[in-house]
A and B are shown apart, each in its own frame.
Chain A
Amino acid sequence: MEINKIKLHPAMTCEDGLSAIEISKKLKEAKDRRIFVVGENEKLLGIITTTDLVYKALAENIEISAKDIMTKEVKYIDVAESLEKAIEVMNDIKSFSCPVVEDGKIIGLISYHDIINHVVNPGE
């Protein structure tokens, strides 16, 4: 029987110099509510949500760029860590998904639903 592997969801990223307007357009296009800010070598720097855009850009200064809007303390999970740890991170951030990084570079998002499906239906 084939092994039921988890497919990571693609994580939308932008550079730290991108403007709030450009970020808003990207999110609208992708129908998403968050974007990850990456620096050199795709290193994860921060996260911007639609709430950040409203509170920090729209309500204060629409001209500011990603590095001024982003939340720098991003909780993530490394690929070397366990699935259990990923669930702990999700509980911690009260989200049903969390970013997965490898050597500091974001490689995708893992969801709570995918983990449960993988654990309960191993398919092997």
Chain B
Amino acid sequence: MGLEDYLGKMQAQSKAVFGGKRKDLSDYLEKHELVNYFDNQTISEERKKDMKNSLEKKLDSEMEKYESELNGVFRKGAAKSTMGLAVLNDLYGFVSKAPISNITGLGYALFALKSAAEVPANIKYLKKSHDWYGELQHWALKPLRYIAPVIGPALESGSFERMVRKGIIKRVKKSFIQTHGKYTPKKEMINARLSRPIREAIAV
């Protein structure tokens, strides 16, 4: 993968994970995570159409399953307003030239409020998805966001939803591969098999 492809992938991933539009998630999966299936000359257009339908169904099913996590009005409202206040607090810290801008009681209180508002949703999500990796990453990054001024609260806002979206992408991809089989491009497969020792390739 060249640098351009890598940056393109990162951009599409950010768009899907931060923006959260269903179409962006679908495009990211199709054009980046599952590109070997959809941008493949050896697979017929008809088969690609079937695979696309299958992908859409899987994505719909996952998004429906995590609807309350993605669009919980109360939690979202609380998180957005507290994080908005935290950003304003940090900005005020800069404007007022405080030595360490975000180490204020209000900043911590707002973060704590936001985190507390998230806990039930986190427990519910973990029970449904068993996404331990996502949860660990989510909570491990919290202290860093608490420390970073301005950008920290901004990143913290919506971090739970981003974790859920990342989990959705991961599970849809896994389910798609389980349904349609692991695909390895022909050239890579041939090279891998040619480099095998003869001992492994022959019947004893």
Whether chains A and B associate is yes
> Across the interface, do B193 and A110 meet the contact criterion of CB distance under 8 Å?
no
Instruction: Name which of A11-19, A31-39, A52-60, A115-123 contacts chain B.
Output: A115-123
Q: How far is the CB of B204 from chain A (nearest CB, A)?
A: 8
Q: Provide the main secondary structure of the chain B interface.
A: helix
Is A7 a contact of B194 with CB atoms below 8 Å?
no
Contact of B197 among A7, A82, A87, A119 (CB under 8 A): A82
- Apart from A78-B198, A83-B196, 11 more pairs, CB < 8 Å: A5-B201, A5-B203, A6-B202, A79-B199, A80-B198, A81-B198, A100-B198, A100-B202, A110-B202, A118-B201, A119-B194
Distance of A8 Cα from B202 Cα, bound (Å):
7
What is the 8 Å Cβ interface bit string for chain A, positions 87-100, against chain B (1 contact, 0 not)?
10000000000001
CA distance A86 to B199 in the complex (A): 12
Q: Is the CB of A118 within 8 A of B193?
A: yes
Interface presence of B195 (CB below 8 A): yes
A63, CB-defined interface residue at 8 Å: no
- What separation, in Å, do the CA atoms of A87 and B191 have in the docked complex? 13
Select from chain B the residue with minimum beta-carbon distance to A102: B199
Interface size range of chain B in the complex: 10 to 19
The answer to whether B198 and A5 have CB atoms under 8 Å apart is: no
A residues whose Cβ falls under 8 Å from a Cβ of B: 5-8, 77-84, 86-87, 100, 110, 115, 118-120, 122
Interface residues of B (CB under 8 A from A): 189-190, 193-199, 201-203
**Distance (whole angstroms) from the CB of B42 to the closest CB of chain A:** 13
Contact (Cβ within 8 A) B202 A82: no
Complex Cα–Cα for A109 and B195 (A): 19
Say whether B201 contacts A6, CB under 8 Å: yes
B194 lies within 8 A of A87 (CB): yes
CA A122 – CA B193 in complex, angstroms? 8
Q: Is A122 a contact of B198 with CB atoms below 8 Å?
A: no
Distance of A46 from chain B, by nearest CB (Å): 22
Q: What are some 6 contacts across the A-B interface (CB < 8 A)? A: A7-B202, A79-B197, A79-B198, A79-B199, A83-B194, A83-B196
Chain B residues whose C-beta falls within 8 Å of the C-beta of A86 in the assembled complex = 198
Closest to A85 in B: B198
State the CA gap A79–B201 with chains docked (Å).
9
Contact among B190, B198, B199, B202 with A119 in the assembled complex (CB-CB below 8 Å): B190
A118 cross-chain contacts in B, Cβ below 8 A: 193, 201
In the A-B complex, the 9 residue pairs with the closest CB atoms: A5-B203, A84-B194, A79-B199, A119-B193, A6-B202, A79-B198, A83-B194, A6-B201, A82-B195
Q: For the complex formed, measure the closest distance between the CB of A9 and the CB atoms of chain B, giving whole angstroms.
A: 11
Which residues on the A side are within 8 Å of B194 (C-beta)?
A: 82-84, 87, 115, 119
* B181 CB → nearest A CB, Å: 11
Please tell me if the beta carbons of B203 and A82 are within 8 angstroms of each other in the complex. Answer: no
Question: A5-B202, A7-B203, A8-B202 given as contacts; is B193 within 8 A of A81 (CB)?
Answer: no
Q: State in angstroms the CA–CA spacing of A2 and B198 once bound together.
A: 18
